[in-house]
Structure 1
Amino acid sequence: MDGEYEIKKAYASILESDFERAIEWFERAVRLDPDNAAYHYKLSVTYARSNKLGKAIEHARTAANLHPDNESYSYHAGTLEAKQLLQDAEKYIDGHTQPHLAVDLLKQALLLDPLLIEAYLLLAVAYGELEEFGPALQAAKDAVKLDPQHVEANRLFEQYREKLKRYLRS
């Protein structure tokens, strides 16, 4: 058995919006053909859609390792890892405990996924908590470049522009 039947059943489950069942079918396909990078990739995408980021990253990495010349697999793994870093960084911001650690994680996330606007926004906030208004302004500006209509990005840009002005005058 090669897993093709299970893949078809997984897609049928997706069409029925039964993502948990789709995961079960994709997992069966992976068990039948554990060296099939495409199966791991498809399972990863379905885990990600189901907000199971840890499992999604695990299978995305496996797909990328099994087929290292496939840029889509590597990119997918990177974007998922960036989301995980973003979630980890949020913990340091929400608790106002260690924004400098959040900055480090967010920089790593942006290296993996330079289009992750949420990372730029959180980076602006982290720098703001550190009272580093120049870098906070730059992070907000980068977010605005990605989405000029983004309300929060524009609000943060204006907020840190004003804070930097006041800081430079004092």
Structure 2
Amino acid sequence: MKADDYIQEAYKAIFHNDFERAVYWFETALAEEPNNPEIHYRCSITYARNGKLDQAFVHANKATEIAPGHIEYLIHINRLQSKKLTAMSRVLIESSNADPKRNYDKALEQLKQAITLDPLYTEAYVWLAIAYAEMNEYILAIAVLKEAIAMEPQNEQLTDLLHDFNKRMRTYFQKPST
């Protein structure tokens, strides 16, 4: 078989939502054509779909190393970096560290960078909104969440979260000052 045949097998596996098998076929194709940036790129996308960001980065970086300046590969690396920053921020937000303010500040910084890298990655907006809400910055949380809703208007979970933030904000501002 040739690399093109292996790639076709990978696409068949993707069609059947068998991403592990698709990775196998892409890797097999790369054994035949290790300097083919398009195969590295496709393999990277498939690893990312499997949630294996480290392997996705390896192949994305190899694609850009072979074909520097190829815009599609560079955009893909930005997407991967955005996902990685969002995942790291989520850990900071969810951890019960002794210094939550520091965690939130770091998470906010990372999430803003994630959005800059991939302005269409809804999850980064959601976690940024959650971080703001946890810091009682409800106006900012609601504004960011509305941006996410604009990207996914049919997502009921986002709408529910918006209602929750509105309710929390009303409760927060109704509390007597001490």
Query: Shorter-chain TM-score category?
Result: 0.7 to 0.9
Query: What is the total number of aligned residue pairs between the two structures?
Result: 170
Which position in structure 2 is the counterpart of 1:89?
Answer: 89
State the alpha-carbon separation in 1 of the partners of residues 152 and 37 from structure 2: 34
Amino acid of the structure 2 residue aligned with 1:86: T
Counting only pairs closer than 5 Å after superposition, residues 19-168 of structure 1 correspond to structure 2 as 19-97=19-97, 98-161=103-166, 163-164=168-169, 166=173
Amino acid of the structure 2 residue aligned with 1:24: Y
Post-superposition, which runs of at least 4 consecutive aligned residues in structure 1 deviate over 6 A?
none
Deviation at 1:15, TM superposition (A): 5.0
Compare 80-89 and 11-20 and name the one that shifted more: 11-20
Q: SS of the counterpart of 1:40?
A: helix
CA pair 150-16 structure 1, distance change in 2 beyond 3 A: closer
State the alpha-carbon separation in 1 of the partners of residues 17 and 124 from structure 2: 30
The percent of aligned pairs where both chains have the same amino acid is 36
State the alpha-carbon separation in 2 of the partners of residues 32 and 147 from structure 1: 41
State the alpha-carbon separation in 2 of the partners of residues 92 and 16 from structure 1: 35
Deviation at 1:43, TM superposition (A): 1.0
- Cα deviations by residue, 1:11-41 (Å, 9 ceiling, x for unpaired): 3544565433332232232233322110101
Alignment root-mean-square deviation, CA: 2.8
**Aligned residues of 1:37 and 1:63 also touching (Cα < 8 A):** yes
Compare 1-10 and 65-74 and name the one that shifted more: 1-10
In structure 1, runs of 5+ residues without a counterpart are: none
Compare 93-102 and 105-114 and name the one that shifted more: 93-102
CA pair 155-27 structure 1, distance change in 2 beyond 3 A: same
In structure 2, runs of 5+ residues without a counterpart are: 98-102
**Aligned residues of 1:2 and 1:33 also touching (Cα < 8 A):** no
Q: SS of the counterpart of 1:131?
A: coil
Deviation at 1:120, TM superposition (A): 1.0
TM-score by length of 1: 0.81
Deviation at 1:49, TM superposition (A): 2.6
- Cα deviations by residue, 1:39-83 (Å, 9 ceiling, x for unpaired): 101111221232222211221222133223332222222222211
Deviation at 1:136, TM superposition (A): 1.5
**Aligned residues of 1:127 and 1:136 also touching (Cα < 8 A):** yes
Q: SS of the counterpart of 1:62?
A: helix
